[in-house]
Amino acid sequence: MKNNYYIQKDNNTENIILVEFNEMDGYHITPKIKKEDTIEVNKIVFVSKSLSEKIIKKKIEHKIAYLLGVIEDNDSSEDGVKQSLMDAEKLRLMIINNYKKYLGNTYQDLTLQKMQLIIKKLRYKLYLMHNKVDYLAYQDNYNYQNYEEEKKGRGR
């Protein structure tokens, strides 16, 4: 088994500081990009709480934007919607299990509410696709009803 460690040179005292890598508490990621003629990095640990929180929030917001794009996309297939639904449920579980110690309670609660709404929308879209109901016709009918409701009322 390899021993991982972190070496840092203290600029003030010119001493070398050795820290055990496995004992460091922080957000762990593994880089996916591998280039030739560079140092190979297998794992990165972000020890700073604020930096970890920013990285996780950016990651979550990127995935939410993707899922919202799937909801808005009317040309998506049933398999694509199923995969997006599984991704949304997986992200929800990751927020609950893995990211809860890095995110604040308010942000976590709001994000879980967003995810619940996205999951409901994806399930409904899948239901409409499964029952061969024309999703576009439903949206047009819904928009027409909203337009008629706006026209009603007292005209003075």
pLDDT on residue 48: 80
Give 24's DSSP letter: -
Say what the pLDDT of residue 87 is.
94
Q: What residues contact 34, with CB distance under 8 A and at least 6 apart?
A: 40
> Could you give the angle at which helices 78-97 and 105-130 cross, rounded to 10 degrees?
160
Q: How far is CA 154 from the centre of its chain?
A: 46
Residue 1: predicted pLDDT: 43
- E strand or H helix at 126, and its extent? helix 105-130
> What is the pTM assigned to this prediction?
0.66
State the Cα–Cα distance between residues 153 and 134, nearest whole angstrom: 31
Structure tokens at 70: 């799937």
- Residue 85: predicted pLDDT: 92
Mean pLDDT by 10 residues, the chain (156 residues): 57 60 74 78 79 91 92 82 92 91 89 94 86 62 58 56
